[in-house]
Structure 1
């Protein structure tokens, strides 16, 4: 008779003495103190970590109270952990002379990690145009991949969700921006670093910068020379003409200098309220259309009251 011993599966000692509760507990996320030397920045992290006054204030707060909100990280194949959120907290810990910081370790794929990384930073009050541009680009790409790629990649990718909305529409709802404004921000990622820095520094306005993003990289570098020569930055109308010249193959240094040397006409007075400026005054679930309708209603009420006061 053949032995059936090889069919017997032995239970390990650990399994014999562990309970279902303890096994479930092992699967729960835990906050762990991780050495700062083992925490590495997220690949292509678009948000700047700057040693400014706010950073020094955070470091001082950590010295007094510790890190109140744990960072999130995921294991790296090469060892250590990749930070998903908490880059500024890590830097503040370094300035506070700490060696470890509390971290939640999560097993995340690239797309899920990218979305969490972007969302955790978009909550900040002050975000540079370049940061927002690359953040929107990274998150939209991740959302498209999560939804599944179509035969042809384009901005009309339909997300894998019950509403059947496009990924760009979902991102617009989540950020409070219009879909077109999101794509305009993403256009800024086509600027060479020198021009993009000028946008962050408010030397070039947002709308002209979007038009300039359609220039080829070598044309953008020539534009920098033209701006330096004429000591001027392009207005919206000038940027639109430069874009047209580029499309026609006529965007030479001489043409750029000629445009940049023009005396700019005084632009009419106007007030621009971006989503960034006003959305903090509304509930998070408000759409741009709801915000606009509410503002118009408030202005109409204010105007009516002002008229009545003048008639008294």
Structure 2
């Protein structure tokens, strides 16, 4: 199914909509300007990392040679300057390349419109961490509700459509956004799985702290069975720190499966013996062997 992302629905449907016709620019409805980097302020609670990695080095080199080819998107900021909606990596690349300004499209977007554009312009990147996706989906979901969207599966589908993710997946990430930053760091580091993180997101702040301490002290890897037990116990109001330690330190039983081939068994028992008789004799022999160990 070919769906347009929700950011595209926020007045970004044509070339003139994106870059602005000369008539609109003249009328002051929007502007394309070369904004000083010092006047471009990060989007409030921007959930996506801007790191100086190999990809940033490539971005920097491209900007050094050719400049910023695609303008960022910004809006006027109370107190002066502009709030950058899309283009945080381009801004950082410009700084590293020694530039003093970069091109941006300036528009008077509402808070909700700006949030949706900010999320959709970043959510399709390949290197997004679970914590980034969780916070971004929550921000977009809240923005859509403010716009009058009803809560429910259809809204969750719209939240995830830009990245091609289902309502169920989006809901899981929104739940995960309730985890403490320290537990989210563990999810990013793959020390806690996504499904386990969903269960832990239902724990109280105190219970989440207990889980964090227990993991740090024991280096345990939480199973889905353990996370479900923690969630259920906390829901009943029964969970304590000693209980968390007990649940997470409980020794896992290793399932062992032994197959004895029929042709080998038949060498030791007459054909008249039943299966039950054979099993009883084997168990008795094993008991005798165990007693001699």
**Do residues 178 (structure 1) and 179 (structure 2) align?**
no
Q: Is the 8 A contact 2:124 2:163 kept in 1?
A: no
Q: Distance in 1 between matches of 2:238 and 2:25?
A: 67
Unaligned 5+ segments in structure 1 are 1-20, 157-164, 268-312
What is the correspondence of 1:101-180 to structure 2 with a 5 Å cutoff?
A: 101-147=102-148, 155-156=151-152, 166-180=154-168
Distance 1:229 1:68, change over 3 A: same
For residues 170 and 136 of structure 2, what CA distance do their matches in structure 1 show? Answer: 10
Given that residues 229 and 257 in structure 1 are in contact (C-alpha distance below 8 angstroms), is that contact kept between their aligned partners in structure 2? no
CA contact (8 A) 1:41 1:82 kept: yes
Partner of 1:70: 71
CA deviation string 1:24-76 (max 9, x = no partner): 55036443111000000011111111122211221122111111111100001
Confirm or deny: 8 A CA contact 2:37 2:101 kept in the other structure: yes
Partner SS, residue 190 of structure 1: coil
**Number of paired residues?**
234
Contact preservation (8 Å) 2:156, 2:166: no
Task: Name the SS of the counterpart of 2:213 in structure 1.
Answer: helix
Q: Which residue of 1 aligns with 2:186?
A: 198
1:23: Cα distance to partner?
5.5
- What TM-score results when the alignment is normalised by the length of structure 2? 0.75
Unaligned runs of 5+ in 2: 1-20, 256-293
RMSD across aligned positions (CA): 2.1
Higher relative contact order (CA 8 A, sep 6+): 2
1:237 aligns with 2:221: no
Higher-Rg structure is 2
**Residues in 2 aligned to 1:247 and 1:34: alpha-carbon distance in whole angstroms:** 52
